[in-house]
Amino acid sequence: MTAQTSRTSRLAVYPGSFDPITRGHEDLIRRSLAFVDRVIVAVAVNAAKQPLFTLEERVALIREAVSEPKVEVRSFEGLLVNFAGEVGASVIVRGLRAVSDFEYEFQMALMNRNLAPAIETVFLVPAFDLTYLSSSLVREVARYGGDVSQLVHPAVHKALRRKFGK
């Protein structure tokens, strides 16, 4: 067997609420492709949250913001590790922006490892100027008419303006 044929394709899932996708998420998707062959952006149904955008809207906005053949966008319900197992992913990608993210992310990574030991969580650090960006801040600023055009893809900007009638 040659090195070429023995090499298996590495797939990551990048899960989240993506309500909506920001430039920070886009940055992490691009960074993931440096060490995996394909990324599935996995949009959580997340019954516990009341999202601004519907599941279908969030998926459609990601597809508009990220048009890259190595990236697929899917929604999932239930446990992330089950979804990762179904699609054959060996890596879960999450972003770590600040210390405040750490505890929740660490808990989640350990629980996911407990549930599925073969799946590794990899934390990525975002670009410097995107470190303090979050979907919730984008929603809040857009809700009150602030300018978020530098923080999201134009399709997302348009969708936010439509949502808030600004």
Site of interaction with ligand PNS (CB under 6 A): 15-17, 44, 46, 79-80, 108, 111-112
The amino acid at residue 27 is D
Residues taking part in catalysis: 25, 49, 97, 135
- Taking the least distance from each CB to ligand PNS, the nearer of 79 and 166 is 79
Q: Kindly state the smallest distance separating residue 7's Cβ from ligand PNS, in Å.
A: 29
Q: Which distant-in-sequence residues (6+ apart) come within 8 Å of 39 by Cβ?
A: 11, 12, 13, 14, 29, 32, 33, 70, 71, 72, 93
Min CB(4)–ligand PNS separation in Å:
34
CB of 166 to ligand PNS, least distance (A): 24
Q: How far is the CB of 127 from ligand PNS (least distance, A)?
A: 18
Q: Which is nearer to ligand PNS, 79 or 125 (CB)?
A: 79
- 7 vs 79, which CB is nearer to ligand PNS? 79
Contact 80, 15 (CB under 8 A): yes
Structure token digits, residue 53: 């955008």
Question: Residues for the chain: how many in total?
Answer: 166
Amino acid in position 42: A
Q: For ligand PNS, which is the closer residue by CB, 75 or 145?
A: 75
Beta-sheet strand order (sheet of 71-76):
71-76, 38-44, 11-16, 91-95, 120-124
